Amino acid sequence: MMEKGVNGILLSDKGVGETSHGVVKKVRALFREGGPVKVGHAGTLDPFATGLLIILVGEGTKLSRFIMSEDKVYLATVELGIETDTLDPTGRILRTSRVPNLEHDFIRASAGRFVGKIRQVPPAYSALRHEGTRAYKLARKGLDVALRAREVTIHALDIVEIDLPLIFMRIRCSSGTYIRSLAADLGRDLGPGGHLRELRRIKSGPFDVENAISSSEMGDKACGEIISKRVISLPDALPHMEEIFIDRALARRIRQGYQPSWKELTAAQEGKIAMHHGPHGGWIKLVGNGKLAAIIRVFLGEETNEIRAKVERVFSA
């Protein structure tokens, strides 16, 4: 029997061929025995891709934007000489080319040009909206989808192995990066074109796929109780986010809609709490009695230049 009132995140290792929504359905079916519960995920993986898929459970569904903003790490295989309309192995082949015996230094130099802040055009076959409609729906109808280029950051791109026409890479990048687009752009830069043949997400923020449960095990109801115990609590789901401990009375008031001041939040704290200027954008978690009460955003007031706080999300768990 699944535990009731479970809230947090679950690390899953999605298998090839599965959809992200399919994994969510498996988890929802397991938790349904303990009563109705919301289940979602933070960051879609395409069916052909494998690796870390963070499942959000109960109040954990409110963490989506905070978790999705984290950097990701991928292992990717690019196949040169074949271009597809989806930029991956599931698509229709658009063009094939002979792959010359490219020098390894030439390949590494080309890959190096993609490190840093780059402009990237998302794939036409993506869930982004174009004029109010999902881009992939338009692309499937044969319509031209011209998505705007956007800035992403490739923090590191390491060539692990070269066995032409295959190039094996390890990539650490910002949220919102399309590895399919990166693979296609690299293929064009090298000459013969290419597509993303394989993709595996091994890290998302502080979480590693090595600590994840295989999605193939999630269909087994006998493992339900074990999976329930593997759910990471709400406060622990945000390990890199600064925290302020508050008492039960203040936590209750905040859950009822109260907006505390920065001075009120820090009055009982030992020492000063520095503003967070990292990837969390000034977010701080408020923890009362070991439970996540809220996430606030801290910023400087325009007129007073004083530190201010605004409640961004409240948690009832």
CA distance 143 to 188: 23
pLDDT for the residue numbered 232 = 95
Q: Please say whether the structural domain 72-199 has been given the CATH code 3.30.2350.10.
A: yes
pLDDT tens digit at each of 317 positions of the chain: 445 578 999 999 999 999 999 999 999 888 776 567 899 999 889 999 999 999 999 999 999 999 998 999 999 999 999 999 999 999 999 999 999 999 999 999 999 999 999 999 877 666 666 556 666 565 565 656 677 888 999 999 999 999 999 999 999 999 999 999 999 999 999 999 999 999 999 999 999 999 999 998 887 766 667 787 889 999 999 998 999 999 999 999 999 999 998 888 887 565 445 444 443 458 999 999 889 999 999 887 766 667 888 999 999 86
Provide the H-helix boundaries in 15-123: 20-31, 64-68, 104-112
Residue range(s) occupied by CATH 3.30.2350.10 in the chain: 8-69+207-234, 72-199
DSSP bridge partners of 313: 295
Query: 284's torsion region: left (phi>0), alpha (psi -120 to 50) or beta?
Result: beta
In the block, tokens 């869930």 appear at 127
C-alpha to C-alpha distances, 102 to 132, 169, 191, nearest whole angstrom: 43, 16, 10
In the block, tokens 């909206």 appear at 129
Q: Name the 3-class secondary structure at 215.
A: helix
Residue range(s) occupied by CATH 2.30.130.10 in the chain: 241-314
* Topology adopted by domain 241-314: 2.30.130
CA distance 80 to 75: 16
Name the CATH superfamily for 8-69+207-234: Pseudouridine synthase (3.30.2350.10)
CA 85 remoteness from chain centre? 24
Q: Enter the tokens of residue 6.
A: 């479970």
Q: Name the 3-class secondary structure at 220.
A: coil
pLDDT for the residue numbered 129 = 60
DSSP string, 96-142: E-------HHHHHHHHHTTSEEEEEPPPSSSS-EETTEEHHHHHHTT
| Active site positions, annotated | 46
